[in-house]
Structure 1
Amino acid sequence: MNEYDLDILRLHTQGFCCAQIVVQMALEMQGAENPGLIRAMSGLCVGFSSARGACGALTGAACLIAYYAGKGTADEQAHDRLPLMLTELADWFEEYATERFGGMACSAIVPYGKPDASICGGLVSECFGRAMTILVENGFDPSSDVHE
């Protein structure tokens, strides 16, 4: 068990999916709430509603990185390292998931693309941890308000 597992379990029992949990955990680290963002994240649940789609823990982690480094207003610019950070995440996940499950799609990871807490919880934890590591290594402070 790692430092994220209890939060993941709590959010899962509240009915949130993998992609929502990844972003909600980051918001909680900031002491922030953004129900609209969490609702939007539900579009990525369960391979974005197709078991053939990419794992929601991965797409949620990509959104988490972009939450910190992406363009959010007309006056902002995306961080120049955003594409590299997303590539690092995707390359890591492809190797991780392919080695363990034979692919990156929901259906490769869990039978019939049906979420399984014993598998998905670990993936959410790994993806959240990897996204946090990538952010910190690129000079972001995940506990600060990205909109300051």
Structure 2
Amino acid sequence: MNFEDLIAELKKDGLGGCSQVMAKLGLELTGRENPDLIRAMSGLTGGMGSSGSACGVLTGGAATLGYYMGKGQIEDIPHPDYKEAIRRYVDWFRETYGTDRCEEIIHGDKEYSRRICPGIIEAGYHKMTEILEEYGVLNEPCQ
């Protein structure tokens, strides 16, 4: 299945935004499910509440990196390089797309977003996965 078909399938399942898709794909890397996380990601769709602000591929990817590398409870020890990993993802995204704003990427055109966003999700997913593999954290989130 190609990414466009995969994204269409996820959207049929009710995942309406890039941030949700990124989190869902990220969780699937290790066979996890987390409906609460996916629900929380809905606040980031459409550039955060359809405001056109930060792109959901960026925020969803950063949040997924944080899920695997960050701290969730007081006793957790985050990966020592989690901030660096997230900065690398953000820097890559800005360099690749020239901005981090959804509105600018899609040129304010929702129809255009249907054509361009699947490719951005695919690229973001591959970069996020590459970073997770480089830091050796795909087996378990930080504990």
TM-score bin (small chain): 0.7 to 0.9
Does residue 109 in structure 1 map to residue 105 in structure 2? yes
Q: Which amino acid aligns with 1:128?
A: Y
Does residue 139 in structure 1 map to residue 136 in structure 2? yes
Q: Distance in 2 between matches of 1:3 and 1:133?
A: 19
Percent of counterpart pairs with the same letter? 34
Call closer, same or farther: CA 1:75–1:21 in 2, change over 3 Å.
Answer: same
The two structures have a TM-score, normalised by structure 2, of 0.87
Task: Give the SS at the match of 1:30.
Answer: coil
Does residue 46 in structure 1 map to residue 51 in structure 2? no
Does residue 71 in structure 1 map to residue 68 in structure 2? no
Q: In 1, are the aligned partners of 2:57 and 2:120 still within 8 Å (CA)?
A: yes
Q: Give ranges in structure 1 of 5+ residues lacking alignment.
A: none
Q: Cα offset for 1:8?
A: 2.2
Q: Distance in 2 between matches of 1:109 and 1:35?
A: 28
Q: Give ranges in structure 2 of 5+ residues lacking alignment.
A: none
Match of 1:130 in 2: 127
Q: Distance in 2 between matches of 1:45 and 1:113?
A: 15
Q: In 1, are the aligned partners of 2:70 and 2:142 still within 8 Å (CA)?
A: no
Q: Which amino acid aligns with 2:81?
A: R
Q: In 2, are the aligned partners of 1:51 and 1:112 still within 8 Å (CA)?
A: no
Task: Give the SS at the match of 2:78.
Answer: coil
Please identify, of 43-52 and 112-121, the stretch whose mean Cα deviation from structure 2 is larger: 112-121
Please identify, of 104-113 and 82-91, the stretch whose mean Cα deviation from structure 2 is larger: 104-113
Match of 2:83 in 1: 83
Q: Cα offset for 1:105?
A: 0.6
Q: Which amino acid aligns with 1:139?
A: G
RMSD over aligned Cα, in angstroms? 2.0
Q: How many aligned residue pairs are there?
A: 141
Q: Cα offset for 1:49?
A: 1.6
Q: Distance in 2 between matches of 1:83 and 1:63?
A: 11
* Cα-to-partner distance string for 1:5-61 (whole Å, 9 max, x where unaligned): 432231123331100001111222322221111000101111112534110111000
